[in-house]
A and B are shown apart, each in its own frame.
Chain A
Amino acid sequence: MKHQSDFEAIVLGVSTGGTKALRMIIPNLPSTFPLPIVIVQHLHPHSDSYFVEDFRQCSNLIVEQAEEKVGILPGHVYIAPSNYHLLLECERTLSLSVDEPVNFARPSIDVLFDTAAEVFREKLIGIILTGAGKDGSAGVRKIKKNGGFVIVQNLDSAQVETMPRAAMNAIDVDLVIPLEEMVPTLLRLTGML
């Protein structure tokens, strides 16, 4: 297993069943968690930011909706707004786009993962959780190709298993674990446990 200083950011993609799954992770991370976390959750194009508010209330980390040109910081969780793609720029800032949906999704997990892998290379952890569809599978391939680390939720604990399954089919995943092991695993990977 890699050493703590090896990682600089986490990207996470989740679709159907996402709110429930994220609730098992985000509120259970300590405020001292050393990596920024950037999340794409598939949302209905017309949904608003209630989802962000919800998590803001119950988390130790600072949860916010991703805004363009904002530099990503440890202790923060950035969630893609609905109807925009979320991308990472080489200055380690976020950017948004209204490009065509990818895999029928906007925001698309592949777009975030692809651009984050360009920036953070082997210092990136990519996580795929429950969901329908195959968004994220090209993204995890890119993360692996650039030397990063990929964790996928195991099928038994996933509310919908197509998305984690597609990720597993795409690459040799580094870790396949149940939802409840996500937090301890992230703490271990970042040297906090």
Chain B
Amino acid sequence: MKTTENENIEIEMLLEAIYRKYGYDFRSYSRASIKRRILHRLAISRLKSISELQHRVLYHIEFFEKLLMDFSINVTEMFRDPEFYKTLVKEIIPVLQTFPYIKIWHAGCSTGEEVYSMAIILKEEGLYDRTQIYATDFNEVVLRQARQGIFPLERIKDYTYNYQRSGGKESFANYYTAKYDSAIVDQSLKKNIVFAGHNLATDGVFGEMNMIVCRNVLIYFKKNLQNHVLGLFKASLRHHGFLCLGTKESLMFTEHENDFEAVAGKVKIYRKKIKTLENEASI
């Protein structure tokens, strides 16, 4: 029992130390996953305890950067959950069509696969030229990769399959060039995407979005941080703006449950209500 108890205390202190020293706030991340990552880093670094690891983190920024990579969620794929993209085209795109200019915030974009997927959908629907996509992540390393838009060629088979199941209208090969063992995304997909650093735990609002996409990020957060981030999204969306979460994420039992209504419940696409609680209070 002692070990676990001590480890849990050490983890809290480590996360506190990281926050104070480097400003990254992992204190409200779901603990089980964070703990696995810390213990993994501990094992491969041949350190004896989390306290020892904390010392390394404080005194060696390179070591902290390694841990930061461990903590960031870097697993993604193009057209993950084809059903989501299919629904997007059917239900959401027709609404977005009515706007002269569209702003989309992709929060927690990681290495960018899902951002480029969105760009492809918008292009095929004739919307890309009047869209600005802000793609953000707290991790500068993954953002750099996202900006490059170079993906392992071995994944293309899966991506093509996903693309086809998403209702893609072209040949997926039109969107990349194969070079050695890499697939380089078509340059034209990049022109309206801005990749930028933003930390959902500590940074502020992005204004007047028509749509926010944040998929499989909230599952890593504890309830309080989920509420904080959903509040941030609510404030960043226009009235009736869309919020797209991961297929296994939900607004149920969060503080913001009543500020949104489900547009496509199965794939977790919501719309901000015109009357949210604060608005009502101010009327």
A-side residues, CB < 8 A to B, are: 67-69, 81, 84, 87-90, 95-100, 111, 114-115, 118, 121, 146
Contact = CB atoms under 8 A, between A and B. Distances in A.
Contacts of B1: 121
A98 B75 contact: yes
Contacts of B36: 87, 111, 114-115
Contacts of A118: 4, 32, 35
12 contacts: A87-B30, A89-B31, A95-B30, A97-B220, A98-B219, A98-B246, A99-B75, A100-B75, A111-B36, A115-B32, A118-B4, A118-B32
Given A69-B223, A88-B32, A97-B219, 18 more contacts: A68-B219, A68-B248, A68-B249, A84-B219, A87-B30, A87-B32, A89-B30, A89-B32, A90-B8, A90-B32, A95-B30, A95-B219, A97-B30, A97-B33, A98-B73, A98-B75, A118-B35, A121-B1
Contacts of A99: 33, 73, 75
Contacts of A121: 1, 4
Contacts of B73: 97-99
Nearest to B220: A97
Contacts, number: 53
B250 interface: yes
A69 B253 CA distance: 9
A123 to B, nearest CB: 11
B216 interface: yes
Interface in B1-30: 1, 4, 8, 30
Interface of B: 1, 4, 8, 30-33, 35-36, 73, 75-76, 216, 219-220, 223, 246, 248-250, 253
A90 B4 CA distance: 11
Q: What 9 pairs between A and B have smallest CB-CB spacing? A: A87-B32, A115-B32, A95-B30, A98-B216, A96-B219, A97-B33, A89-B32, A68-B219, A98-B75
Contacts of B248: 67-68, 81, 84, 96
B33 A87 contact: yes
Contacts of A100: 75
B32 A67 contact: no
A132 B73 CA distance: 28
B67 to A, nearest CB: 15
B123 to A, nearest CB: 25
A155 B123 CA distance: 54
A118 B249 CA distance: 25
A95 B33 contact: yes
Contacts of A81: 248
A5 B24 CA distance: 42
A188 to B, nearest CB: 26
B52 to A, nearest CB: 20
Contacts of B223: 69
A68 B220 CA distance: 9
A100 B33 CA distance: 12
A95 B32 contact: yes
A99 B219 CA distance: 11
A190 B32 CA distance: 27
A25 to B, nearest CB: 25
Residue of A68, A81, A111 with most chain B CB atoms under a 10 A cut-off: A68
Contacts of B246: 98
A145 to B, nearest CB: 10
B163 to A, nearest CB: 14
Residue of B1, B8, B33, B223 with most chain A CB atoms under a 10 A cut-off: B33
Nearest to A70: B253
A118 B1 CA distance: 9
Contacts of B76: 98
Contacts of A115: 32, 35-36
A111 B36 CA distance: 8
Nearest to A114: B36
B158 to A, nearest CB: 9
B19 to A, nearest CB: 20
Residue of A69, A81, A100, A118 with most chain B CB atoms under a 10 A cut-off: A69
